[in-house]
Structure 1
Amino acid sequence: MAACRQRSCWSQLPRDLLSCIAQHLDSRLHVLRFRAVCSSWRASAPLPPKSPSLPKQLHFRGNYPTRKRIPSFLISRMNVYRIRRPGFEAVSDQKFWFIKVEETRQPNKFNVLSPFSRHPIKNVPPSFPKELNLLSFCVEETVTAFSIRQRREDPDTEVNDYNPLIRKITLASDFVSSNSAVAISRGNLCRITSDGNDNQWYKFDSNIKFRDIANFNGKLFTVDLYGSILSVRDENTFSLEEIRSPLDQTASECERYFVESGGHLYLVVRDLYICSDRVYYHRKIDGFIKETGDDPVPVKFRVYKRIPCSGDEQNEYDWVEVTDLGDQVFFVSTDCSFSFSTQDSKGCHGNRIIYVDEITDIEHLENKERYEEDDDNNELWHLKNGKVGLFNLADQSSGSLVLFPEYLAMFWPPPTWLMGDQASSSS
């Protein structure tokens, strides 16, 4: 009876108070969960708009009329969610699970992906929920990323091919008005614009090889192979401005990733200078190649944080190296990067970096082998082949993620508490 009175009290909160609360919700997911409580809460908060309008299909005109027709591309939104097991009470061994979903052209239909991969998972377990009740689980949006896939010739198919020439894509800060996106293709920074049926693909200086792009606080940042950080000075002309010379004293060719955490922008560098005699950058494939050999490549990461710069009239911000991430774990890959807290996770500690190894074996390249799509029946490709690792920033140790079951359980396989009838209620 007391529980009933409590629920009734929550449902009878003044509408102006509910409206005020709804205005402070900072994501579409939070608004949907707020509306799901009861009819009075739903009436106090309108449905959040879906903006920008994605997925978007693009057709590019070829320069040579005799050449085979250029296939179309589909730009879609991807979200990585952290799902907490049922029950909202604070416990010391709270269980989390991360999943990445990608929008399709069919309303309310999504592809399920592992955070490690760009390929949709084939043969998802039959007990995997088709829908999630937002009141049964705590679902947090960790990061939003974007994909660009090449459409197959059959217009009716929803299965698209990932374009390996595109390293990463993000939307321009004024996407709603300009319909612009920025992509790294073969190491080149490109601007994609869409104006009705007239789509254009502009390439920046091809002599610079870029490794990552980020849209942080409405401003686009990019970093090149040698660590120079640039920003888009004017989105009308998309002119680039260097805001930081190479962070590395050696200015060597390294993998670099932007990560947003706690309202700050970080740059994570995988230092390949320590193994430069065994690993080298291959411009044609825009990636790093490992010479043949069974010995593991040494792993080292460095992290830099963007902070306000005092006493410098020319530069508002500077980048400083940090060695302690607190309870945060950084996840980095060419596809998407994000951070999460381990504060309530038993057996897991922060100041770690989970990474997808981007180094390709030279034999794999020479044999022209293709990466397999992720298949749950044969374990996820990146896990099966030891391409996901964990690096301890404190003691500089590293190892395959499968050697750390507490961390691995956050990503695969799906936990038992997520499967079954309790998760299949409509949201």
Structure 2
Amino acid sequence: MKTTINNPDWSTLPDHLLAMIGKLLHARVEALRFRAVCHSFRTSLPLLQPSTLNIPDPFDSNNQLSLTRSTVYAIEPLHEISSTPLETSTWFVKVSELSSGSVRVEDIFYRFTDQNLSEMLPKSLNLLDYRLKEITTAYGLLQYPIFQKIVVSLDEFEIMTLFSGGKLGVYRKGDEEWTYIDFSVDGIFFEDIVYHMEKFYVLGSKGLTITVDSKSLDISQVAAPVPTANGFNKYLIKSLEDLFFVDKSEFDNCLEKGGSKSYPIHLNVLKLDEEKREWIRVTNSLDLKDSVVL
């Protein structure tokens, strides 16, 4: 290949620079693009395979569980982005990596549309023709529906699980069994968990929020309950360096259309102020920084 200023020969980059670049690629799609450049790029960054780590079953000591990972991507055709940026088609898909090495593609809006996802997507995806953006990643443990939610710290491979009924468990790589978190406060049960800024955050009913140190299992309260948090569903949402508390409730007035009834949804959004140790209601859309919550 003839090398010019406008057309450099990237394949000649030294190995130590390729290794430094590879360490900065956290999203799987970024690693795939990097490896697709040429042979030297591909050999400098091994492609991580789905986890085969054996995790003990919390209910059966003779059984092992498999960790699954699902990633939501936004897919946009590059030719539409360049020609009609305001009318660009965007597909949101969830890709689950299976232990066999294959993947399963799902429509994250399948509950709200009658159209089959396979009818909307192209037969194949060439990453040179499409822009893929990783939106979020979620984890799961197969076999039991009792796992309400699972969050993972990949640095030390630590797992926190919210069981149905509000029970909390932690598994750390090398442990022989799960450790359960006891936080005994009258009338408080766990509603959601998230891994944010290298800490596990746990949301209790009424907005009481704690952090759990995965190594010492020490518990610290970071926000007091919110008296007005009376919704039927509560969520922790991380966005960049901020953490939000979404309290979801229904309006009392019923809407009728075409013989069917529906109840409008109200979302009360609060932002965590750890210095003040409280949730602050979001009244300015600028606080959300153009975020979209899925």
| Shorter-normalised TM range | 0.7 to 0.9
Q: Is the 8 A contact 1:171 1:181 kept in 2?
A: yes
Q: Distance in 1 between matches of 2:244 and 2:267?
A: 13
**More displaced 10-residue stretch of structure 1: 295-304 or 138-147:** 295-304
Match of residue 191, structure 2, among 194, 211, 217: 211
**Residue of structure 2 in register with 1:334 after alignment:** none
Q: Is the 8 A contact 2:152 2:195 kept in 1?
A: yes
**SS at 1:92 equivalent:** helix
Q: Distance in 2 between matches of 1:191 and 1:74?
A: 16
Higher relative contact order (CA 8 A, sep 6+): 1
User: Which string of whole-angstrom CA distances, capped at 9 and with x for unpartnered residues, describes residues 163-208 of structure 1?
Assistant: 33221111146533xxx31111122122234537x33352534764
Q: Is the 8 A contact 2:222 2:274 kept in 1?
A: no
Question: How well do the aligned residues superpose, as a CA RMSD in angstroms?
Answer: 3.9
Match of residue 104, structure 1, among 95, 98, 107: 98
**Residue of structure 2 in register with 1:148 after alignment:** 141
Once the 2 structures are TM-superposed, how far is the Cα of residue 220 of structure 1 from its aligned partner? Answer: 0.8
**SS at 1:175 equivalent:** coil
Q: Which runs of 5+ in 2 are unaligned?
A: 255-259
Once the 2 structures are TM-superposed, how far is the Cα of residue 145 of structure 1 from its aligned partner? Answer: 0.9
Q: Is the 8 A contact 1:225 1:254 kept in 2?
A: no
User: Which string of whole-angstrom CA distances, capped at 9 and with x for unpartnered residues, describes residues 23-48 of structure 1?
Assistant: 654534223213323446x26x8215
Q: Which runs of 5+ in 1 are unaligned?
A: 64-68, 151-162, 279-293, 310-314, 332-427
**Residue of structure 2 in register with 1:243 after alignment:** 222
**1:137–1:164: structure 2 CA closer, same or farther, 3 Å change rule?**
same
**Residue of structure 2 in register with 1:192 after alignment:** 171
Q: Does 1:319 align with 2:279?
A: yes
Code of the residue aligned with 2:135 in structure 1: it is T
Q: Is the 8 A contact 1:84 1:138 kept in 2?
A: yes
**Residue of structure 1 in register with 2:257 after alignment:** none
Q: Distance in 1 between matches of 2:183 and 2:145?
A: 21
User: Which string of whole-angstrom CA distances, capped at 9 and with x for unpartnered residues, describes residues 370-420 of structure 1?
Assistant: xxxxxxxxxxxxxxxxxxxxxxxxxxxxxxxxxxxxxxxxxxxxxxxxxxx
Question: Matches of residues 84-99 of structure 1 in structure 2 within 5 Å?
Answer: 84-87=76-79, 89=82, 91-99=85-93
Q: Does 1:54 align with 2:45?
A: no
Q: Distance in 2 between matches of 1:192 and 1:167?
A: 15
Q: Is the 8 A contact 2:11 2:38 kept in 1?
A: no
Code of the residue aligned with 2:131 in structure 1: it is C
**SS at 1:135 equivalent:** coil
Match of residue 7, structure 2, among 9, 15, 22: 9
Q: Is the 8 A contact 1:304 1:322 kept in 2?
A: yes
- Percent of residue pairs identical: 25
Q: Does 1:167 align with 2:148?
A: yes
User: Which string of whole-angstrom CA distances, capped at 9 and with x for unpartnered residues, describes residues 339-370 of structure 1?
Assistant: xxxxxxxxxxxxxxxxxxxxxxxxxxxxxxxx
**Residue of structure 2 in register with 1:32 after alignment:** 32
Once the 2 structures are TM-superposed, how far is the Cα of residue 225 of structure 1 from its aligned partner? Answer: 1.9
Once the 2 structures are TM-superposed, how far is the Cα of residue 89 of structure 1 from its aligned partner? Answer: 2.6
**SS at 2:206 equivalent:** coil
Match of residue 272, structure 2, among 286, 306, 324: 306
Code of the residue aligned with 2:234 in structure 1: it is R
Question: Matches of residues 14-413 of structure 1 in structure 2 within 5 Å?
Answer: 15=13, 19=18, 24-39=24-39, 42=41, 46-47=44-45, 50=48, 54-60=51-57, 72-87=64-79, 89=82, 91-107=85-101, 109-116=102-109, 125=118, 132-150=125-143, 163-172=144-153, 174-176=155-157, 180-186=158-164, 187-193=166-172, 195=174, 198-200=176-178, 202-205=180-183, 208-232=188-212, 234-247=213-226, 249-252=227-230, 254-271=232-249, 275=252, 295-307=261-273, 309=275, 315=276, 319-323=279-283, 324=285, 325=288, 327-331=290-294
**Residue of structure 2 in register with 1:377 after alignment:** none
Q: Is the 8 A contact 1:194 1:200 kept in 2?
A: no
Once the 2 structures are TM-superposed, how far is the Cα of residue 253 of structure 1 from its aligned partner? Answer: 5.2
Code of the residue aligned with 1:319 in structure 2: it is W
Once the 2 structures are TM-superposed, how far is the Cα of residue 114 of structure 1 from its aligned partner? Answer: 2.8
TM-score, normalised on structure 2? 0.75
User: Which string of whole-angstrom CA distances, capped at 9 and with x for unpartnered residues, describes residues 139-169 of structure 1?
Assistant: 111111101220xxxxxxxxxxxx3322111
Aligned length: 274
Code of the residue aligned with 1:224 in structure 2: it is G
Q: Is the 8 A contact 2:211 2:221 kept in 1?
A: yes
**SS at 2:292 equivalent:** strand
**Residue of structure 2 in register with 1:156 after alignment:** none
Code of the residue aligned with 2:147 in structure 1: it is I
Q: Is the 8 A contact 2:200 2:214 kept in 1?
A: no
Q: Distance in 2 between matches of 1:214 and 1:203?
A: 15
**1:326–1:192: structure 2 CA closer, same or farther, 3 Å change rule?**
closer
**1:22–1:192: structure 2 CA closer, same or farther, 3 Å change rule?**
closer
